[in-house]
Structure 1
Amino acid sequence: MIGKDSRYAAIPVRSRTRSDGSEVRHLRPVLLPHYEDVPIAANHRVKDSERIDLLSAQYFRQATAWWVIAAASPHPHPDAVLGEPGDTVAIPLLGAGEVGPR
């Protein structure tokens, strides 16, 4: 069940019927923009022991919006987004590249 406040709430649900007659429901796949196309609001210098969810809470007031920072990163895994202390991470404009119907 997807809550009304979920980032996935506006994505259409699709279904298909298997050969045994059972139905499989899923969300339509969503393509995020290329990280170089995401508008950047700030660049943050990473400090020791920082986490992506805490940066999200700091910049967006939503720890669960960490994926917005990850979408603006060239790194494919969220654990690699922040890199090492002293590295810079791009903080995108909240709402830029947001998941939703197209």
Structure 2
Amino acid sequence: MFEPTSRYDELEMATFTFSSGREVVYKRRRFLPPAAEGTLLAEHRVTQGERLDQITARYLEDPELFWRLCDGNNAMHPEELTAAVGKKVRIFLPDT
């Protein structure tokens, strides 16, 4: 259903059955983990026009892992991290 690098890939599947007997299979809700979990790799200062996928590609070598930066900085919305020039974004490697 989701790519292996997706933040939703490892979520448990659930099933809801309507009174009509129809079943809907879905992924359970994902909650933000506590911020700053993992090993701090670097701190990055946002520059004018910089996007989160560019930052993620530079440090984690995969622009689709932007959600790891969101989790590590306790950001619900990715644009929060690059909205202000000079904002410090912490880059964490997940502890596995």
Distance change in 2, residues 1:34/1:61 (3 Å): same
Does the Cα contact within 8 Å between 2:36 and 2:92 map onto a contact in 1? no
Structure 1 partner of 2:73: 73
Distance 1:76 1:31 in 2: 10
**In the alignment, is residue 87 of structure 1 matched against residue 87 of structure 2?**
yes
**In the alignment, is residue 24 of structure 1 matched against residue 32 of structure 2?**
no
Does the Cα contact within 8 Å between 2:32 and 2:74 map onto a contact in 1? no
Unpaired runs of at least 5, structure 1 = none
What TM-score does the superposition give when structure 1 sets the normalisation length? 0.77
The count of aligned residue pairs is 95
**In the alignment, is residue 39 of structure 1 matched against residue 51 of structure 2?**
no
* CA displacement at 1:85 relative to structure 2: 1.2
Unpaired runs of at least 5, structure 2 = none
Give percent identity, aligned residues only: 27
Does the Cα contact within 8 Å between 1:82 and 1:88 map onto a contact in 2? no
What TM-score does the superposition give when structure 2 sets the normalisation length? 0.81
Does the Cα contact within 8 Å between 2:13 and 2:26 map onto a contact in 1? yes
Structure 2 partner of 1:55: 55
The structure 1 segments of at least 4 consecutive aligned residues displaced by more than 4 Å after TM superposition are: none
